Structure 1
Amino acid sequence: MLDFFERLDKFFKYKELNDNKVTLQAGISNGIIGKGRKRGSLSLDNISKILYTYPELNANWLLTGTGEMVNIPDGAMILNPHVLKSDNAVDRQSIPLYSVEATAGLVNLFDSNQTPSVIDTIKIPNLPKCDGAVFVMGDSMYPLLKSGDIVAYKQIQNFKDGMFWGEMYLISVEVDGEEYVSVKFVQKSDLGDDYIKLVSQNTYHQPKDIHLSKVRALAIVKASIRLNSMS
């Protein structure tokens, strides 16, 4: 389990914050957070200032690691864009929502000769260009993604040279002659340039090195969408 400052840093990264920004915004004395890191503790008064300044931060998660990092109001939809520096936002676009199961896998979904049925369309302004969206299955990226969340993606044609290391990908690989579809972080492999390492957010899932010849389809995740309530 992450300790207090690891959880705090995770929230800082999520909000694109740093110690200096938080010090100014929360009214904390200069250098207190840095000193707290060295001591391994932060006073309750300063923790309270942080929680008051960022009400979306789940106090229970910050202090104990229990629950979700961010407080989500009932019925809210949470959108997490995954934007590269090279991305250009599109003011208006209709992103088709597909079913991977209905198209019998990601390879068929990406096949230009196929015409997959569209479940619905998603319209969110100022997202990077996306080719489509699908529902997430499984818990390998929990808690970042949950089963039933939606990811919007941009298809990658060049598996070897079109990779942005450390980013999140929708990927199809061949395992014992069958297609295995998942969402993973893709990192460089210690086995060489012909391999990639698939890494889960959920630490119960071990990283796995895959030969590039086993990759059947690949798309970089541009946004994730979570519906907190279906009612």
Structure 2
Amino acid sequence: MKAIERLYEYINFKGIKATPFEVRIGLSNGYLGKQLKRNADLGEGILLRIIENCQDLNPIWLLLGSGSMLKDSYLENTIAGEKQIAENFSLKTDKTKSRQSIPLFDIQETTSVAALFRNQEQEQPTDYMTIPNLPKCDGAITVSGDSMYPLIKAGDIILYKKVKNNIDTIFWGEMYLISILDEDGNEFNMIRWIQKSEKGDQFVKLVSENEKHEPKDLPIQSINGLAIIKASLRVNSMS
């Protein structure tokens, strides 16, 4: 088995499709698929880019197939009879914190997701989460939609870091929690990949993981709140 085949094994394990993975690490669209079909080797530069961006991936396993796929930093804890798996696809610029208390909000009880962006301190969290070795997070909420399925599904918890809704603060190809106000003042909340729009610098393209949801170009000025997704947590009940 070659490195390209092991990389696809890792991508499938993470629940990430090849195209958004290529966007995340700066590869051209379809590059990995072409290499897989040709059974070709990955160049040194590509391998370094993968290793730098996939911080939980064991480079020895990727290159040689030895050892386990993931480093020891991949968290798997069993608490009160429930298996919790924290999946984190970190940017190489992220600095992890050994311990932090992250407020968990119920968006059904808060004023709105936009309120969490404006002045989160005025909202009362339902609980706090402590997960070691994560990047700095401002809060967490439970997902209710299917737009990012199967990567993220209803009932999963996402942990986010608030950012300014400004073109200069966006990391293209990353996943964001977005609050949008339409012309009638109605608020819509969603999780999407944010990509560059062909309509120009005043627009962004919102892309779902779920193929049933069409991509949409959106004026930046209609974004009412923006937060980058730092991690997701899925709880699988065990009998």
- TM-score normalised per structure 1: 0.70
Q: Specify the SS of the correspondent of 1:186.
A: strand
Q: CA RMSD in A?
A: 3.4
Large movers: runs of 4+ above 3 Å = 6-11, 13-16, 34-39, 53-56
Query: What are the within-5 Å matches in structure 2 for residues 73-222 of structure 1?
Result: 75-112=82-119, 115-175=122-182, 176-222=184-230
**Separation of aligned partners in 2, 1:35 and 1:84:** 24
Q: Is the 8 A contact 2:192 2:208 kept in 1?
A: yes
Deviation at 1:171, TM superposition (A): 0.5
Q: Which 10-residue stretch deviates more, 99-108 or 220-229? A: 99-108
Unaligned 5+ residue runs, structure 2? 15-33, 40-66, 71-77
**Separation of aligned partners in 1, 2:138 and 2:111:** 18
Q: Which amino acid aligns with 1:198?
A: L
**Residue 38 of structure 1 pairs with residue 45 of structure 2:** no
Unaligned 5+ residue runs, structure 1? 1-5, 17-33, 40-52, 57-72
Query: What are the within-5 Å matches in structure 2 for residues 1-80 of structure 1?
Result: 10-13=8-11, 37-38=37-38, 75-80=82-87
> How many residue pairs were aligned?
185
Q: Pick the structure with greater CA Rg.
A: 1
**Separation of aligned partners in 1, 2:117 and 2:35:** 51
- TM-score normalised per structure 2: 0.67
Deviation at 1:99, TM superposition (A): 1.4
Deviation at 1:131, TM superposition (A): 0.4
Q: Which 10-residue stretch deviates more, 91-100 or 104-113? A: 104-113
Deviation at 1:101, TM superposition (A): 2.0
**Separation of aligned partners in 2, 1:182 and 1:38:** 38
Match in the other structure for 2:46? none
Q: 1:160 to 1:38 in 2, by over 3 A?
A: closer
**Separation of aligned partners in 1, 2:211 and 2:218:** 18
Q: Is the 8 A contact 1:137 1:182 kept in 2?
A: no
**Separation of aligned partners in 2, 1:36 and 1:185:** 25
Q: 1:148 to 1:93 in 2, by over 3 A?
A: same
Deviation at 1:151, TM superposition (A): 0.4
Q: Is the 8 A contact 2:176 2:226 kept in 1?
A: yes
Q: 1:54 to 1:174 in 2, by over 3 A?
A: same
**Separation of aligned partners in 2, 1:88 and 1:55:** 22
Q: 1:132 to 1:210 in 2, by over 3 A?
A: same
Deviation at 1:15, TM superposition (A): 6.4
Q: Is the 8 A contact 2:5 2:36 kept in 1?
A: no
Q: Specify the SS of the correspondent of 2:169.
A: coil
Match in the other structure for 2:237? 229
Identity of aligned residues (%): 43
Q: Specify the SS of the correspondent of 2:167.
A: coil
